[in-house]
Amino acid sequence: IDNPIFDKLGMKYPIVEGGMTWAGTGALAAAVSEAGCLGFIGTGYWHGDEVRREVRRAKELTDKPFGVNVMLMSRHIREVFDVILEEGVKVVATGAGDPSPFLEELHAAGVTVIPVVPSVSMAKMMQRKGVDAVVAEGMESGGHIGQMTTMALVPQVVDAVDIPVIAAGGIGDGRGVAAAFALGASGVQMGTRFLTATESEVHPNYKAKVLKARDIDTIITGNIVGSRVRVLKNKMAKEYVKREVEEIGKPEPDYETVEKLESGTLRAAVVDGDKNGGAFMAGQISGMVNDEKPVAEILAEIWAQATDIMGIENKAK
């Protein structure tokens, strides 16, 4: 698999753990990197101090490179980048926005920059600005999503840009990995699959909910409000969607109040395991995530299946 970035980072598998706010802790990222992939710490709207704490936790657990996923909309984005540079983080993934204002200083410090893109136009724009690779993420994914499916988006992005394309969304086993490579991707990113890993620190209620979920158990909140998030169905999610539909019928819809229903809910799910009030972000792949086991085992199994399907040598064995 031709991916100069992964070669540079010395990875055993062409697989990335997508950054997951609250769920993607330093311990999980370290376990993924230690196993030969690239782990990412999800930082969402955290302050610099919180980012530094998780980066240092990861560093204690692995000498291998790992990344930090940042939310560009965050009010604390400047201090987050300062921490990334001070701590010598090697890879940055960015969501929700344009990382180009920070690109020069990140590249000067040798940091690889990989934005997540939901469309061909965004992928092209990112290439023009000089990023190192893109993650083309389909709407099967858990968390914030665009409109395109992975199956339709990945080959179109592959055709549109010359930089490496990492496919994300709905990939949970070796069949999905092989499919992504068949679509032209040069790497794969998974999120949901890692939620139930032994090293994942999400609340036991979160793991149980993913393990129990069927194929049709996710729902998209924010379709009408405009900030689409895929979560497992529960009281909060159903109430959110009901309120959205109610507002659209009003002469002066108050979407702001509806949006506030989701504030703090991911933390409530991950940290407190709040079954009714939490946002249990997870992808459509949840239906096939049926066991809790160490990251190293998950990855060895997935790569063995993928290489078998692709008919290539499993060098990681």
User: What is the greatest pairwise CA distance in the chain?
Assistant: 62
Task: Name which of 36 and 67 has its Cβ closer to ligand FMN.
Answer: 67
CB of 139 to ligand FMN, least distance (A): 9
DSSP state of 233: -
Cβ contacts of residue 308 below 8 Å, gap of 6+? 174, 314
The pair phi, psi for residue 47, each rounded to 5°, is -75, 165
DSSP state of 38: B
Buried b (16+ CB within 10 A) or exposed e, 34-70: bbbbbbbbbbbebebeebbbbbeebeebbebbbbbbb
CB of 71 to ligand FMN, least distance (A): 6
Q: Per the structure block, which two tokens stand in for 112? A: 């690889």
Q: What angle do CA 193, 199, 202 make, to 5 degrees?
A: 70
Q: In this structure, are residues 4 and 23 in contact, taking their beta carbons and an 8 Å threshold?
A: no
Task: Name which of 139 and 161 has its Cβ closer to ligand FMN.
Answer: 139
What are the Cα distances from residue 274, in Å, to 11, 105, 151? 36, 40, 33
CB of 162 to ligand FMN, least distance (A): 22
Residues 137-156 that bind ligand FMN (CB under 6 A): 137, 140-143
Residues 296-315 that bind ligand FMN (CB under 6 A): none
Q: Judged by CB under 6 A, which stretch of 16-24, 29-37, 55-63, 78-86 contacts ligand FMN?
A: 16-24
Q: Which of 9, 11, 15, 20 binds ligand FMN (CB under 6 A)?
A: 20
CB of 251 to ligand FMN, least distance (A): 35
Residue 23 found at the interface with ligand FMN (CB under 6 A): yes
Task: Name which of 164 and 169 has its Cβ closer to ligand FMN.
Answer: 169
Task: Name which of 20 and 77 has its Cβ closer to ligand FMN.
Answer: 20
**Binding pattern for the stretch 273-292 against ligand FMN, x by CB under 6 A and - elsewhere:** --------xxx-x-------
**Binding pattern for the stretch 100-129 against ligand FMN, x by CB under 6 A and - elsewhere:** ----------------x-------------
Residues 157-216 that bind ligand FMN (CB under 6 A): 168-171, 189-193
Helices (H), the chain: 4-8, 26-34, 48-61, 77-86, 100-108, 120-129, 150-160, 174-182, 192-195, 204-212, 235-248, 255-260, 265-270, 295-310
Residue 216 burial (CB < 10 Å; 0-12/13-18/19+)?
exposed
CB of 44 to ligand FMN, least distance (A): 5
CB of 180 to ligand FMN, least distance (A): 11
Task: Name which of 170 and 222 has its Cβ closer to ligand FMN.
Answer: 170
**Binding residues vs ligand FMN (CB under 6 A):** 18-21, 23, 42, 44, 69, 71, 95, 116, 137, 140-143, 168-171, 189-193, 281-283, 285
